[in-house]
Structure 1
Amino acid sequence: MSSGVENLKSKPANSFALGRFLRLRWERFLEESSFIRHYLWKYRASVGLGLLALVLVDLMEVVPPILLKESLDIAIEGKPLSQLAWIALVYLGVALAQAVGRYGWRIYLIRTGILSGRDLRARFSRHLFGLGASFYDRHRVGNLMSLATSDTDAVRMEIGAGLLVLADAIFYFATVPVAMYLLSPQLMLLAFIPLPIIPWLVIRNEREVHNRSEKVQEALGQLSAMAQEALAGIRVIKGFAKEDVQLGRFRAKGEELAGLSLRLARVQTSFGPTLDFTMSLGLVLLLFVGGKQLIDQPVDAAGAAVTLGTFVAFQRYIQKMVWPMAAIGVALSFYQRAVSSSKRLKAVLNESSDVSDRSEVMAVMPKGAWKTPGGVEFRNLGFRFPGNSIEVLKDVSLRIEPGERVAFIGAIGAGKSALLSLLPRIYAVSDGMLFIDGIDVNRWPVEELRRQVGFVSQDVFLFSETVSENVAFGLCEWMERDSEKAVVEKATQLAAVHDDVVGLISSYRTRLGERGINLSGGQKQRLSIARALVKQPSILVLDDVLSSVDVQTEEKILQGLRSRPGRNTEIVAAHRISTVRDADRIVVLENGTIRQQGTHQQLLADARGAYRIFYEQQQLKEDLEHYAEAVELQT
């Protein structure tokens, strides 16, 4: 009695647990498949037509075994040959309809996958370009490249080929068993006895494929990042003769990826044969029991005639059921790879930029070409790099008038680059700390702010395009393209690099190597200055970009900047006294704070000041270098 009551109590509990399990699985599926469902809905018309063509093909797939059955029965019973001719014509019509249908689903479903991959890759790229510098400080470029290629391809394959294979398997299951039942219910049940084993195999395989796919995609991203980093630093590797070391690291990571891929392949490749074997058990039962019935009693329990044609048709149907069994494994493989890749893509797409436009941006913005006066003010500014607890700028307060040239100088790590990077909002700055012409930089639209600020980083980067295209990269959209050549040449003249460009093989049409490898360090710096000058910014920011040019060329560039038409504010950071001595004001930074400010002569007058000490150290260094050169000439 008590045991019966306990059993009754346990049934609702078991039902509740099952319901909760199914609900969690459904919620997980909705989360995992969000990318896939989004693009399937976006291209629903194409998907619908492709599935309609697939239904046509699979409906036609049940006809050939029936035609084969009828042909055998006609031949055995000695019926007129004309009936076989009609069956042959029907078979030809079915084959033609299937050919048209197969062409249709290839066109529509594969097209959906290709277009979805294009859209996802564009969405991912657009999101990457919108993220701030702090994001790239935390992520390796090679891993992002892997996400933009192999991971988007995994999602694309699921939307195209994965959907095709899964739908094909489902339609097979919906049509072939019906045809088998109509021929002989008893033989159908006999052939499907091993079927209940399949769901257990599917669930077990899905879990393993998911876990191993995640590890493979992670390893692939790491390998891509390592390859990108090694190729970018190939000259350093060669300079230190570390080719074998890098090759060993790359081989080790490749072997790790190969091992993980083989572990995944073992699960994927074993699934299809296991299902094939399971379905073959049904064929064994059909051969033994069905064959015996054909000999002993040519009518089954339901009263349906079991002829040799019926027996052969059943054998063909069971063989056709092998494909959907294998297709389930293929579809699961596509799906799990897409889920793993979707998870990695979402981790990046869920990142938000810390320098995006806010809702309270400037209400009124002039249209067309315009320039702001260029006044800059720092108010008690403090700053630390994202994810870092160390404050690199502390209580910086400074006002720069429009048209003024202000130079920042200080030792390495003083905070010069961090301060200048805040002007175009490369990094986010807190409200109320930095103003341009009286407006908080956070209220400026980012695009407009960066159009007004010409920022030249100390990390020089040139594209693998022509010299002209590299310099013209800085042109604003509103500028007349007809005058592009003249504007580009004027900018290169101001940057004292025009003569160098003319001396190249194809002058301004010379195509540069990766990152401008076929130019000297000074030429690359001067081209990057020209790229900023060509857009005629209201505020020109130069972050230690004259370190690789000689003093004479540096003087020529600085004089050209001061005399250029439409000149506005210039903010310069440097290590050399020669770069800053002619500035309207020099600001000495030390440990993130302003130590001194004034003109060159005013700062030199303070014998114990940081600028005077810095000046004397550089003078001593120059004297020693001149002395060493003189000794070398005498010897």
Structure 2
Amino acid sequence: MRSLLKRLNQNQRASLTLVVGLIICQVWFDLKIPDYMADIAILTQTPGNHLEEIWRIGALMLLCALGSILSSLSSAYIVERTAAGFSRSLRHDLFTRVNSFSAAEINKFSTASLITRSTNDVSQVQMLISSAVWSLVRGPVMVILAVTKIAGKGDAWLTVTALAVFTMAALLGLMLRLVIPRFKQMQEFTDDISRVTREHLVGLPVVHATNSQKREEEKFALTNQRLTSATRFTGLSFSTIFPMIFTTVSLLTVAIYWVGAQLIDGATEPEKLQIFSDMVVFSNYTMQIMMAFMVMSMVLFIYPRASVAAGRIKEVLETEPSIADTPAGTAQKQPIQAGEIEFRNVTFRFPDASEDALENINLQILPGQTVGIIGATGSGKTSLVNLIARFYDTTGGQVLIDGQNVKDLALEELYEKLGYVTQQAVLFKGTIASNVSYGIKNTQTQEETEKRIYNALEIAQVSDFVSSQADGIETEIAQAGKNVSGGQKQRLAIARAIAKQPQILIFDDSFSALDYRTDRQVRNELKKHTADVTTLIVAQRVGSIRDADQIIVMDNGHIVGQGTHQELMHTCDVYQEIANSQLSVAELEGE
């Protein structure tokens, strides 16, 4: 928690310092009131008319009360504003850090956990700052000042109060030790709830289609029961705090008045009034001390969970991306035509895996070539193209673009060269225009941007769908593109990559939702309009890549075939097996 609070900026620290000063003022005002009460008690028991003096002291009490209220309101406002600003900064820092993560870091934390850390965990830290600053400053200051004031007013009273204070401190410390481990479990179980719920909502059609509602309910019930058990333990533990405090307060009050009665009974007549006055003051001060403990105990409801949340946030913020960026412009320029890709003795293994996903890959792709990549599921096709985009880094060897190692390129420079369409087409909430223009630089004029959008839509064979919409390219796209079909979503994702006008286009099984006719039309348009762009097409269907300049056949992380369709039909058994299972005799003969 302390390391996380070091991220407070200068203004936030100054604000919290001001809050400390306001809280000290508030405590001082609160502790002056019992003194005035003691003065009034003495005046009421002293013979003679002291009404004007009583009114004067009463006015001072009222001013102290008003001062306490103003100090309290001011400190509360500043604390809430500071806490909200700090949580905003944390969310920004988390988003920025996660934005720099590679697939390895995302898989390490899981999507559900990162969402929980960026939302619920940050809220826990904000709540702690909102409550703890006031409670943890006011409580100790109140105890110190109150003890200072009651010191010397009676050793017996002071002994009883000290015993009560130490008892409360020990009980609260013990409670803290018991609940912190359970709060860590609660955060982990909250992640599990998020994960299970997210999986269920995403896979709801599959759940219904397989009639697996009961199984999903049982899975959720098990996760929910774990969270419930942990929450019940902490709730029951905290439910004992206030009864303990109230019992201690009641016993302390009885002890103070019992001691006071004994002192008054054994005192002379002139001393009785002073002892009575001291007892009233002492009683008020001890109540203030016990109330301070009650206020500090409120933090126990928040601190354990917030402490765990802070640790989880810190873990994300201190995780260095495995894909290290390079300062822009530091890579040595090579006199090679844009769009050349080369793999030199590349080996790749996923983090924590026991075997290589790719082994000894040597491959050269010339600028402007269209290259198809095919193979069985798990053969390494996607892993191969992921290395070009540095979603992962090679375990061994080099991947070069235009003669430069991709590790020597700034990520911004690298991504500027690429247009990438993933296996699962991704659309963002917005409009068709905002999605297709997602990779276009802001330096383009509105007219130029729209021209590129319409051109990309035409090439991707989705212009008819867009023109059929009343709002055209301003048609709204729902979150994750849920208001368009799978084929439309895939073609819009293809249009987005084309509109960027990159040097290299990568289609990772991006034609799978298209029918054969649309698939061929898109590839024909790509060949016509992007002839100078290097294009990689990862596919399951031979028909999607048979016209490529060269085809790469993958099997168990190795390249087992390389050449044109006709060449591979004579030289590569794996390719022959795939082609024979998908194409008719007429298609195999080139008809």
| TM-score between both structures, scaled by the size of structure 2 | 0.92
- 1:29-178 aligned at under 5 Å gives the runs 32-39=1-8, 43-77=12-46, 78-178=48-148
- Point out the more displaced range, 491-500 or 181-190: 181-190
Distance 1:131-1:207 versus aligned 2 partners, 3 A rule: same
Partner of 2:260: 290
SS state of the match for residue 426, structure 1? coil
Question: Of 574, 578, 588, which aligns to 1:614?
Answer: 578
**Contact between 1:372 and 1:538, CA under 8 Å: does it hold in 2?**
no
Q: Does 1:312 align with 2:275?
A: no
Partner of 2:212: 242
Report how far residue 299 of structure 1 moved: 8.5
Report how far residue 363 of structure 1 moved: 4.3
SS state of the match for residue 419, structure 2? strand
Distance 1:568-1:258 versus aligned 2 partners, 3 A rule: same
Partner of 2:314: 346
In structure 1, how many angstroms separate the alpha carbons of the residues matched to 2:179 and 2:311?
15
**Contact between 2:156 and 2:259, CA under 8 Å: does it hold in 1?**
no
Partner of 2:302: 334
Report how far residue 350 of structure 1 moved: 3.1
In structure 1, how many angstroms separate the alpha carbons of the residues matched to 2:143 and 2:267?
29
In structure 1, how many angstroms separate the alpha carbons of the residues matched to 2:464 and 2:218?
45
- 1:381-420 aligned at under 5 Å gives the runs 381-420=346-385
Report how far residue 457 of structure 1 moved: 1.1
- 1:133-532 aligned at under 5 Å gives the runs 133-181=103-151, 183-184=153-154, 187-297=157-267, 306-358=274-326, 362-363=330-331, 373-430=338-395, 432-532=397-497
**Contact between 1:146 and 1:221, CA under 8 Å: does it hold in 2?**
yes
- Point out the more displaced range, 249-258 or 147-156: 249-258
Deviations 1:247-288 (A, max 9, x none): 333233223212211211222232233233234333222111
In structure 1, how many angstroms separate the alpha carbons of the residues matched to 2:491 and 2:331?
37
**Contact between 1:46 and 1:108, CA under 8 Å: does it hold in 2?**
yes
Report how far residue 505 of structure 1 moved: 4.7
Q: What is the root-mean-square deviation in Å for CA atoms of aligned residues?
A: 2.6
SS state of the match for residue 422, structure 1? helix
Give unpaired runs (5+ residues) of structure 2: none
Report how far residue 207 of structure 1 moved: 0.7
In structure 2, how many angstroms separate the alpha carbons of the residues matched to 1:415 and 1:166?
57
Report how far residue 372 of structure 1 moved: 7.0
In structure 2, how many angstroms separate the alpha carbons of the residues matched to 1:433 and 1:45?
51
Distance 1:550-1:360 versus aligned 2 partners, 3 A rule: closer
- Point out the more displaced range, 178-187 or 586-595: 178-187
Q: Match of 2:192, as an amino acid?
A: Q
**Contact between 1:36 and 1:159, CA under 8 Å: does it hold in 2?**
no
In structure 2, how many angstroms separate the alpha carbons of the residues matched to 1:516 and 1:190?
69
**Contact between 2:361 and 2:559, CA under 8 Å: does it hold in 1?**
yes
SS state of the match for residue 430, structure 2? coil
In structure 2, how many angstroms separate the alpha carbons of the residues matched to 1:149 and 1:622?
58
Deviations 1:308-339 (A, max 9, x none): 33322322222222211212322234322222
**Contact between 1:561 and 1:567, CA under 8 Å: does it hold in 2?**
no
In structure 2, how many angstroms separate the alpha carbons of the residues matched to 1:365 and 1:57?
66
SS state of the match for residue 378, structure 1? strand
In structure 2, how many angstroms separate the alpha carbons of the residues matched to 1:109 and 1:532?
47
In structure 1, how many angstroms separate the alpha carbons of the residues matched to 2:75 and 2:423?
54
SS state of the match for residue 559, structure 2? strand
Report how far residue 443 of structure 1 moved: 0.4
Report how far residue 340 of structure 1 moved: 1.2
SS state of the match for residue 406, structure 1? strand
SS state of the match for residue 311, structure 1? helix
In structure 1, how many angstroms separate the alpha carbons of the residues matched to 2:554 and 2:161?
84
Q: Match of 1:239, as an amino acid?
A: A
**Contact between 2:347 and 2:396, CA under 8 Å: does it hold in 1?**
no
Deviations 1:409-436 (A, max 9, x none): 2222221111111111111124642111
**Contact between 1:209 and 1:333, CA under 8 Å: does it hold in 2?**
no
**Contact between 1:113 and 1:161, CA under 8 Å: does it hold in 2?**
no
Q: Match of 1:137, as an amino acid?
A: N
**Contact between 2:332 and 2:404, CA under 8 Å: does it hold in 1?**
no
Distance 1:441-1:363 versus aligned 2 partners, 3 A rule: closer
- Point out the more displaced range, 346-355 or 402-411: 346-355
**Contact between 2:347 and 2:397, CA under 8 Å: does it hold in 1?**
no
Deviations 1:555-576 (A, max 9, x none): 2111111121673111111122
In structure 2, how many angstroms separate the alpha carbons of the residues matched to 1:399 and 1:129?
31
Q: Match of 1:96, as an amino acid?
A: L
In structure 1, how many angstroms separate the alpha carbons of the residues matched to 2:576 and 2:182?
63
Q: Match of 1:192, as an amino acid?
A: A
**Contact between 1:375 and 1:400, CA under 8 Å: does it hold in 2?**
yes
**Contact between 1:394 and 1:592, CA under 8 Å: does it hold in 2?**
yes
Distance 1:287-1:490 versus aligned 2 partners, 3 A rule: same
Partner of 2:560: 595
Report how far residue 490 of structure 1 moved: 1.1
Distance 1:451-1:40 versus aligned 2 partners, 3 A rule: closer
In structure 2, how many angstroms separate the alpha carbons of the residues matched to 1:198 and 1:404?
77
Report how far residue 126 of structure 1 moved: 1.2
In structure 1, how many angstroms separate the alpha carbons of the residues matched to 2:444 and 2:396?
33
